[in-house]
Structure 1
Amino acid sequence: MATGFERHSFPSKQKYFKNQLEEKPKPQLNFKEKITNDSKPFRHKLKEKPHCLNPLSMEQRDRHPYEFELKKFSPDSTFLKIKHEVPHFQPVSSTPLIMVDTTEAFEHLLRDLLSQTVIGVDLEHHSDRSYRGITCLMQISTDKTDYIIDTLQLWDHLQPLNKVFCDPNIVKIFQGADSDVIWLQRDFGIYVVNLFDTLQAASLLGFQKKGLYFLLQHYCQVHVNKKYQLADWRIRPLPQEMVKYAREDTHYLIYIYERMKQDLYSRHCLGDVKITPEMKKGTPEEPKDRKSKSKSSQITPVNEKGVNQVLQVWNNSRSVCLKQYRIQTLEEMYSKFYSSLNKEGKKFNNQQSYALQEIFSWRDRVARELDESPHYVMTKFNMLNIISQLHNQPENILQPISRHRFVHQHLPQLHEVIVKAKAIAIQSSPISKKQTKKRGAASATAVPPVSRPPMKKRKIDNVASSTITKARLIQQKISKVEMIDLSCEPNQMKERRPAKKINTCKVVLTDVVQKIDAVVVKSSSGIETRPARKSRKVQLIDLT
């Protein structure tokens, strides 16, 4: 069976766009289920629900179909056990590789995965020539075999993978699964139960670097080439260099998973070990009384703290699985885009703001119709160049921008937007934050500071009706206190003399009843007992 991995020279991304993609139809045009780019809310694609605890409801298709199962999930005790010795990983060169690009090969893959307890998974995504993006490749590794699934070829046949991905008895290891979980839901209707995210484990271990590139160096002493991280994964046949890169994303995940469980446990097997700078750099210190310096050697039997640390990774990973794909509205996308420009310090007058919003809407509309990414239709750089000059003549619009294929095709529409923007009365652009700070600093030297108004007295609850608990709280409060007679008439309050103030004293209530007989005041001069009128209410007022 041809693997599709014949060696040939890898063309650059620019040459590939120019020589192949402009001539060949997009792969998404061959999908049986056509991609729609409308703004309707996303509804899940599940046709059946394997491993369900709560029956699938077709009426609530806007909700996460495995929300109930995920909230009930807890990893089996066998997954929490720490291996005394982790078998070393097999080299990539000696591991079988199977390319899955037919339904027969997919059925063979499914049978093999259902017999596993731990697998590593990763996806390769493309977002430049599609409005929402498409998943181009899926890599799955067991402890003996590496699989690469051509998702573009099997786009409409991958949902049975839920038998594996939703099985709570199979651990799915991802590295940074936040985007992968969303792509699986959007493109194939695949959900994940029992996820171990190595990114979450790296966070708990205190690593400053948490990417797969670092984990491969730290645990496997393997250096990978990041050249193809942003490559165009729609290329068929795949060059051998890209095949090797894709395999390495999952080939070592099972080994890293076992090693990270050891490290998560060992941080607590000898007590609470402090995270040192060496640990944060990715080189955890070995406990002094460990018998062996090898990280894959025997370790102390599992204790409660170590198990809780390992279990925390599953809990954090479950939160990732509960994420749900959602389609943003045009208003939400523009608000996010405009906020990013504000953070960059970009300022616009009312003409430019109108043109920016209209061109943003035009770009989004064209991208939806042609199934292109908005960035591919018009870059942010070109958009800002157009609104910064607002040329009156249509031909002048093309001057300050590059790659204006779509701009040339829709030039009359863009010119109409600019004409309407120019008709708006211009207003001065808002003052930047730096200018505001400078003006504020200059005015501060000329204008004297304004004195603050005196603070109002804060009343404390009526002591006569308070409880013993409140009295104890008052006992602990050291403040300036004055006694005020509240039994007099309101019109007499202004005429009465102010009560004598006792500076920095501690009020101690000997007894709390409905009526207070006396108040004991403790000050630097000694203890003094002052009588309180039985027929009058007494209230303490905090003068601080």
Structure 2
Amino acid sequence: MRLVDSPSALEEATALIAASPWAAVDTEADSLHHYIEKLCLVQVSTPSDDFVIDPLAAIELGGLLQLLSQKPLILHGADFDIRILHRFFAWKPKEVFDTVIAAQVLGYPHQGLADLAKIHCDVTLSKKSQKADWSVRPLGPELLEYAANDTHYLKTIREIMEKELAEKGRTEWHRQFCAKLIETATAVPTDDKKENWRMKGSKAMKGRGLALVKALWEWREEQAARRDRPPFKVIQSETLVDIAQWADAHPTQDVALMPDAPRNVKGEHREALNALIQKMDTLPAPKPFLAKHKTPYKKWGEKENKILDELKAQRQILASELNIHPSLLANNASLETVITASPKNGEDLRRAGCLLPWQAEVFGGKILKVFDIIDPTEEAMR
């Protein structure tokens, strides 16, 4: 293992990586420990070396990342790594082999790196440092070894899984999933950050209860930033929504009386939370939640819902035959889009734009058969 934390060490590592026909890549960040996430490590393995590269040192990673973007890469759970490298460096890889996706496509019941390393390399990887604060320096030998192991075994795992994919005729399935992953992870975000306060469980809320959700979220952000802690370590989002719902029904009561309230709600945060609740009626009411780009299936009639149920049933049957998770054939959002498109043939299904080519090939016939029996457009045309 080579620690790369100086310009000269980076120059040497880049030259060695340039000579390699492939590279295995991983990253470590500190979002579990700090308010603003930092990229703390980039791990790169080649046939001859394992490099642990320190972005927090005085080194410039642009040249190395440009080099890596042109190489065949191996990653385990590539979505996070691509997103964080794209966010900090506008990085986009050309070719990725994701071992998690390979495990999913092959129907592995366990898809973690430790599971795959045990199965294919007969090694037991420690999980002890999974939640370490990777921004702390210096990094001890145990953390450096853990980081290096995240990429060290990926080449062997890939070689074995490539053969299994070929034997099952699923190489193209995996390739299409990985290509889609690259595009999705490097896409320009469309979410409005001003709406980040709309936490899970708050969509059905309105009026002063929804206003309190927003106020509680803003208070938590201030606390997290001041303490340099991730927001969830101040108070969980679920708890904030629970507080808002309870306070909406009990506006004059002390938050400490809320059933099953966490200790920090009754203790250190009690005064601040009660102050927000007391001015709940004066808070500006935000607009109710409006789903974006969501198929309005709740407005459908009986036929549309029947088709959705039948598509899910057919998906489950086929997934069981293939020994894969049903969502690999088509997730629920894709099924809803298909129903809206009401395809009559394979070309209609392709134009719906919600299935990968292999999904349309493997599952498309069953989808079209469902529409042969029940056409959701027939009732609307009458």
2:68 aligns with 165
Contact map agreement 2:197 2:213 (CA 8 A) in 1 = no
Single out whichever of 124-133 and 251-260 deviates more from structure 2: 124-133
Asked if the contact 2:126–2:146 (Cα under 8 Å) also holds between the matched residues in 1, the reply is: yes
Match of 1:376 in 2: 233
Q: Is the 8 A contact 2:129 2:146 kept in 1?
A: yes
Distance 1:376 1:260 in 2: 38
Alignment correspondent of 2:140:
239
Deviations 1:400-457 (A, max 9, x none): 65457x966x956x55422222679xxxxxxxxxxxxxxxxxxxxxxxxxxxxxxxxx
For 1:198, the equivalent position in structure 2 comes to: 99
Counterparts of 2:155 and 2:205, CA distance in 1: 52
Separation (CA, whole Å) in 2 of partners of 1:202 and 1:334: 35
2:189 paired residue number: 326
**2:115 maps to 1:211:** no
Identity of aligned residues (%): 27
Structure with the higher fraction of residues in strand conformation: 1
Equivalence for 1:251: 152
Structure 1 residue 258, shift from structure 2 partner: 1.4
Q: Tell whether the 8 Å contact from 1:391 to 1:397 is kept in structure 2 after alignment.
A: no
CA RMSD in angstroms comes to 3.5
Structure 1 residues 397, 107: closer, same or farther in 2, change over 3 A? farther
What does 1:19-418 align with in structure 2 at a 5 Å threshold?
Answer: 97-154=1-58, 157-167=60-70, 170-268=71-169, 309-322=170-183, 323-324=185-186, 326=189, 328-335=191-198, 337-339=199-201, 351-367=208-224, 372-380=229-237, 383=240, 386-387=243-244, 388=246, 402-403=263-264, 414-418=273-277
TM-superposition CA deviations, 1:83-117 (whole Å, max 9, x none): xxxxxxxxxxxxxx110011110111111111111
Query: Once the 2 structures are TM-superposed, how far is the Cα of residue 251 of structure 1 from its aligned partner?
Result: 0.6
Whose helix fraction is larger, Structure 1's or Structure 2's? 2
What does residue range 409-448 of structure 1 map to in structure 2 within 5 Å? 414-421=273-280
Give the superposition deviation at 1:321: 1.4
Larger of the two Rg values belongs to structure: 1
Is this contact kept in 1: 2:26–2:81, CA < 8 A?
A: yes
Q: Shift of residue 381 of structure 1?
A: 6.2
How far the C-alpha of 1:377 sits from its partner, in A, is 3.5
What amino acid sits opposite 2:67 in the alignment? V
Q: Deviations over 1:234-276 (max 9, x none)?
A: 22222322222222211111111111122222335xxxxxxxx
Query: Structure 1: which 5+ runs fail to align?
Result: 1-96, 269-308, 425-544
Gaps of 5+ in 2: 284-382
2: distance between equivalents of 1:150 and 1:386?
41
265 and 393 in structure 1: CA distance in 2 versus 1, 3 angstrom threshold: closer
CA contact (8 A) 1:134 1:187 kept: no
